[in-house]
Amino acid sequence: MQHHPVSPIPDRTPPKPFGRVAVLGAGSWGTAVAATFAKAGVSTRIWGRDIRVCDEINAKHQNQRYLADVPLPPKLYAVHEMRAALDGAEAVAIIVPSRSIRSVARQMAEYVEPHIPVAVCAKGIEAETGLLMTQVAEEELHGNPVGCISGPTFAAETALGHPTAATVAFPFSHRDRLDPDRSPAVRMAMSLSTESFRAYVSDDLTGVEVGGAVKNVIAIACGMMMGAGFAENTRAALITRGVEEMKALAEALGGRRETVTGLSGVGDLTLTCSSPTSRNMSLGLQLGKGIARDACFDGQPVVVEGEMNARSVTDLARRVGVSMPICEAVRSVLHHGAELGETFAALWSRPIEAEPRALDLSFDHPASDTAVQKLAERFS
């Protein structure tokens, strides 16, 4: 028998980061992400609406309005013209509030080529359509590969170089699976990775986005209960059952339950539910203490993503037949004038259920009437 020599496997070429990226949005998180790209050695231009913010980034390497006292890389360049930001960009990150995703994507569509990958960094569900943020962007763009960056990330800590991890998610085409090193997700992850920022890659865009949208609502619930005087047992229960609500919605929309146990789900939920640095947690804390909504944040018009998501998430869940009792409770308080104590007492006295889904059972809570009465008293 004749033996043929086995050809050696060629050395694998490392994935190539993008040479230039554009970050659309010069708020706190946009500035932090742009700084991370720049620290990774990527030529980075950040676009902002406020020309004073752009000038300060260029002249002083600071963004005092949105990221006070955090030094920015000298090579980070800010522009006020979107065309200038997108000129020559090999990839784009849109980092504006969820309500602005559609208008910004529509504006950038005029200047960006269809093959350029676009990562959306807003978290939420569009109220009018029930679309996830990447789906909103897709409607306005011209066939660009659209993904997202999501995870447990406070902007200031990220920009200051605290060890941070996040997930980069894009759909994987057949070509991407054959050659993942050239996929948008892998190249975006390589472009973000520094000594302190660690990026993970996912192909489950739906699962990643659902985690980011739902966690804000659960954080408001945690804040409400903590503000009312309850402690760690209560928060742990809400976080855990909140994860189950995330899993159920993700699965119903075609995502994977396991994705929710990662950085964009459990990771982001844990962070957001554990610190008043989160606007969502902070809003819940204030409401739990009995502060009226219009008096929260000292009466300032602070945008809280979870407040809007409480309605859009539950609208979508109802449409696809998913039960989300914690999110429904938050919606009732925020949007339907429900009394906070009675609402959460009713949540806790719902029928007893099995935790593993395979054990399909439900029966009345034996102390439901007492639970409603006693728990409601704790909020008064």
Catalytic residue numbers?
A: 215
What is the rounded distance in angstroms from the CA atom of residue 91 to the CA atom of residue 134?
A: 15
Question: How many residues are present in the chain?
Answer: 380
* Integer Cα distance of 220 and 232 in angstroms: 15
By C-alpha distance, which of 347, 317, 322 is closest to 332?
347
| C-alpha dist (Å) from residue 261 to 151, 275, 284 | 11, 20, 24
Tabulate helix, strand, coil % of the chain (nearest 5).
50, 10, 40
Q: Which two tokens stand for residue 315?
A: 């609208």
**Nearest C-alpha neighbor of 23 from the set 82, 84, 104, 94:** 94
* Contact predicate 211/219, CB 8 Å: no
| Residue tagged 């208008």 (tokens) | 103
Of 346, 321, 186, nearest in space to 251 by CA: 321
DSSP single-letter state for residue 63: B
Query: Closest by alpha carbon to 220, among 344, 317, 122?
Result: 344
Could you tell me the two tokens for 3?
């033996």
- Which 3 state secondary structure label does DSSP give 93? strand
Distance CA 107, CA 191 (A): 25
Q: If you write DSSP's letter for every residue of 290-337 in order, what string do you get?
A: T--GGGGGGG-----HHHHHHHHHHHHHHHHT---HHHHHHHHHHHS-
